[in-house]
């Protein structure tokens, strides 16, 4: 039988040699070795589950482990609820099994199975004899079209995650998310067809609500005269900025098919007089000059480091000395939100085929090496969704 180097107690190629004796390890490594040995021991697990003082911790840990093993099931229960519009069916108050089954088009037994599953994750709760109501989690999701849109589009991501190792090894060339995000790895992004741009641009616009609110609260746009939103999508972010700051001039750069959608949105919102849209490829075409604030909202994490450097240099040139750059996106290494930046986005962007969530330090380094200074991280209400960095050109 072949053992891998770790099992033989030897380092992997290129790794520093493992210390000879445990005593030569630092205290942290010794403690970790001791803890992991203990947690892996079936005897200890049995003891901890029986002993009154550790019983609660042991049960909590077991539930956490079970959650890791089975998390994908809960996401699919949620998807079933969204597809059947169950939360809307409960929006006006508790309903009976029969009414819900008829409304969702399920047999009563299937409806009950789904309701029980939804109760187990607090999407639904019982409201007296034979009645069901929105649960705490279901109430949060109800009436929030952006979350429903996200959940629906996760069906694509789910397809790509079927073989996560193949995904990590880059063996899965044609992923569903690459097809969805038509510009990802496109030979000629500027030629992305309107109908392909429409699918992702609609999703982006739907999920922009929270982002724009948090960015506007984190940074004072009033100190600026003109803003250029680079990769601004169909203008949902700039429309919110424009509504909050009536004297700001608004400029948006995106692929031609997307910029055309933004122009329509600005016209519909009565912003056409102070909003300009530019269609092009931000890797190949010059960005318009004249703004004293440039923004990248959920754009840089889509691209690899070389591409990000190119974008930062282009923004620097467009701004000129003293101009301000604002980056808004979820960051890796966000305390308390590691599962979003490192977990979710880590794999999401692998499926998209380019980019990664970066830490503040990684983005700072890229900013500095492309001519920016005075780099600051601003507090946001929901760091899980978006963080804000500003820098001076
Ligand atoms: C993830 S979306 C973010 C959209 C918007 N900023 C938001 O937060 O809703 C990335 C945007 O970058 C645009 N984009 C991607 N590649 C581009 C390119 N080469 N030139 C111009 N825009 C591009 C896409 O069309 C898309 O609108």
- pLDDT 10s digits, 271-318: 999 999 999 999 999 999 999 999 999 999 999 999 999 999 999 999
Q: What's the full length of the chain, in residues? A: 393
Q: What is the pLDDT of residue 2?
A: 43
- pLDDT 10s digits, 137-156: 999 888 787 888 899 999 99
281: Cβ below 6 Å to ligand 1? Answer: yes
Atom of ligand 1 nearest to the CA of 208: 9
What ranges in 183-289 are assigned the alpha helix state H?
Answer: 194-206, 208-218, 236-244, 256-268
Atom of ligand 1 nearest to the CA of 295: 6
Q: At what angle do helices 194-206 and 208-218 cross, to 10 degrees?
A: 60
Cα distances (angstroms) measured from residue 28 to each of 14, 19, 25, 31: 23, 14, 8, 5
Give the pLDDT mean for 64-70.
88
Distance 125 CA to ligand 1 centre (A): 40
234: Cβ below 6 Å to ligand 1? Answer: no
- pLDDT 10s digits, 195-215: 999 989 999 999 898 899 999
Q: What is the pLDDT of residue 63?
A: 84
285: Cβ below 6 Å to ligand 1? Answer: no
Residue 277, SS3?
Answer: strand
Residue 122, SS3?
Answer: coil
Q: Atom 27 in ligand 1: which residue has the minimum CA distance?
A: 233
Q: What is the pLDDT of residue 316?
A: 98
Place of tokens 């920016």: 372
Place of tokens 């949060």: 140
Q: What is the pLDDT of residue 276?
A: 97
* Best CA proximity match to 377, nearest among 333, 326, 342: 326
Q: Atom 12 in ligand 1: which residue has the minimum CA distance?
A: 231
For 170-204, b where at least 16 C-beta lie within 10 A, e where not — what string?
A: eebeebbbbebbbbbeeeebbebeeebbeebbbbb
* Whole-structure pTM value: 0.86
- pLDDT 10s digits, 237-268: 999 999 999 999 999 999 999 999 999 999 99
Atom of ligand 1 nearest to the CA of 283: 19
pLDDT at 178 over 50: yes
Distance 129 CA to ligand 1 centre (A): 50
Pocket test for ligand 1, best of 186, 199, 200, 231 (most atoms within 8 A of CB): 231
């Amino acid at each position: 039988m072949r053992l891998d180097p770790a099992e033989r107690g030897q380092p992997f190629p290129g790794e520093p040699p493992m210390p000879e004796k445990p005593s030569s390890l630092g205290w942290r490594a010794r403690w970790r070795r001791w803890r992991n040995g203990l947690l892996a021991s079936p005897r200890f697990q049995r003891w901890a589950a029986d002993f009154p003082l550790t019983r609660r911790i042991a049960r909590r840990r077991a539930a956490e482990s079970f959650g890791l093993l089975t998390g994908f099931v809960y996401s699919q229960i949620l998807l079933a609820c969204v597809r059947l519009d169950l939360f809307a069916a409960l929006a006006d108050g508790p309903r009976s099994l029969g009414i819900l089954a008829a409304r969702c088009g399920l047999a009563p037994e299937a409806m009950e199975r789904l309701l029980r599953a939804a109760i187990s994750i607090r999407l639904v709760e019982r409201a007296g004899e034979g009645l069901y109501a929105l649960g705490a989690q279901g109430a949060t999701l109800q009436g929030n079209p952006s979350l429903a849109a996200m959940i629906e589009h996760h069906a694509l991501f789910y397809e790509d995650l079927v073989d996560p190792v193949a995904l990590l090894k880059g063996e899965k060339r044609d992923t569903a998310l690459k097809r969805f995000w038509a510009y990802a790895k496109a030979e000629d992004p500027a030629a992305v067809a309107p109908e392909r741009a429409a699918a992702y641009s609609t999703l982006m616009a739907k999920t922009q609500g929270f982002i724009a609110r948090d960015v506007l609260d984190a940074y004072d746009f009033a100190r600026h005269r003109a803003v250029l939103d680079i990769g601004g999508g169909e203008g949902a972010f700039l429309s919110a900025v424009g509504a909050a700051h009536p004297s700001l001039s608004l400029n948006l750069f995106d692929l031609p098919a997307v910029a055309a959608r933004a122009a329509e949105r600005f016209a519909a919102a009565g912003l056409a007089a102070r909003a300009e849209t530019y269609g092009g490829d931000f890797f190949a075409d010059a960005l318009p000059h004249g703004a004293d604030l440039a923004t990248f909202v959920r754009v840089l994490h889509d691209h690899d480091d070389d591409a990000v450097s190119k974008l930062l240099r282009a923004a620097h040139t467009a701004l000129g000395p003293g101009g301000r750059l604002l980056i808004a996106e979820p960051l890796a290494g966000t305390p308390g939100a590691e599962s979003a930046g490192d977990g979710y986005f880590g794999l999401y962007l692998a499926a998209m085929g380019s980019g990664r969530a970066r830490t503040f330090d990684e983005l700072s380094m890229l900013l500095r090496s492309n001519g920016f200074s005075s780099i600051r991280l601003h507090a946001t209400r929901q760091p899980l969704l978006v963080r804000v960095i500003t820098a001076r050109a």
